[in-house]
A and B are shown apart, each in its own frame.
Chain A
Amino acid sequence: MKLLADLFLVIGALFCFLGALGLLRMPDVYNRIQAGTKAVTLGSLSLLLGVGLHHPDWWSKLLIVGLFILLTNPIGSSTLARAFHRAGVPLWQKGGHGT
């Protein structure tokens, strides 16, 4: 159980790191939204699962935080993408000007 919890903690931190790396490497605002939202959401949920396996008596608060992240993070990123699209942020073209 302890080993599984440590595994989930390391996986969560790794996914958060990869999401931030994708945020730095992607060429476009919309690509950065994808990288920075999906991977970091999965990483945060995995971190919550790891902490919950370490301390099973904290499950109610961890469940609330996890459900909140799972509900609001996609809503926030989709609202951001819609706002950028309506404000006229251009899409990235391969070989175009915005590399």
Chain B
Amino acid sequence: MTLSIVEIVVLVLLGAASALALLRLWIGPHTADRIVAADTLSVIATGLIVVFSLLFDSPLYLDVALLYGVLAFVGIVALARAIEGERS
């Protein structure tokens, strides 16, 4: 599989975005920063899976992206509920 210039640029940018979000997830001073970083990382990963469906030329990856988005949303809302009930 040979990649064109545009695909290489897109993959490098998305990889850099994932690395920056992972860095915030790692060094985040509080739990809130880490949860926000995980939220952003889940959306970036959804976009990355959609790009994979273009690269591998298979629409099956779109189902994977949709399922990943659903599970990430449920997880984020559950974490928000847990934080809200923690100190209130």
A-side residues, CB < 8 A to B, are 6, 9-10, 12-14, 16-17, 19-21, 23-24, 29, 32-33, 36-37, 40-41, 43-44, 47-48, 50-51, 54-55, 58, 61-62, 64-65, 68-69, 72-73, 75-77, 79-80, 82-84, 86-89
Give chain A residues whose Cβ lies under 8 Å from the Cβ of B21. Answer: 20, 23-24, 36
**Restricting to B31-82, which residues have a CB under 8 Å from any CB of A?**
32-33, 35-37, 39-40, 43-44, 46-47, 50-51, 53-54, 59, 62-63, 65-66, 69-70, 73, 76-77, 79-81
Q: Are A29 and B54 in contact (CB under 8 A)?
A: no
Give chain B residues whose Cβ lies under 8 Å from the Cβ of A58. Answer: 53, 59, 62
Closest to A34 in B: B36
Q: Would you call the interface of chain B mostly helix, strand, loop, or mixed?
A: helix
10 A-B residue contacts at CB 8 Å?
Answer: A6-B6, A9-B6, A9-B7, A20-B18, A23-B40, A36-B40, A37-B43, A43-B47, A58-B53, A89-B32
The answer for the CA separation of A6 and B54 in the assembled complex, in Å, is 11
Q: Are A84 and B83 in contact (CB under 8 A)?
A: yes
The answer for the CA separation of A49 and B37 in the assembled complex, in Å, is 25
CB < 8 Å: which of B14, B37, B84 contacts A36? B37
Given A17-B16, A55-B54, A61-B66: 9 more A-B contacts, CB < 8 Å: A13-B11, A13-B51, A17-B13, A32-B33, A54-B54, A58-B59, A65-B62, A72-B69, A87-B32
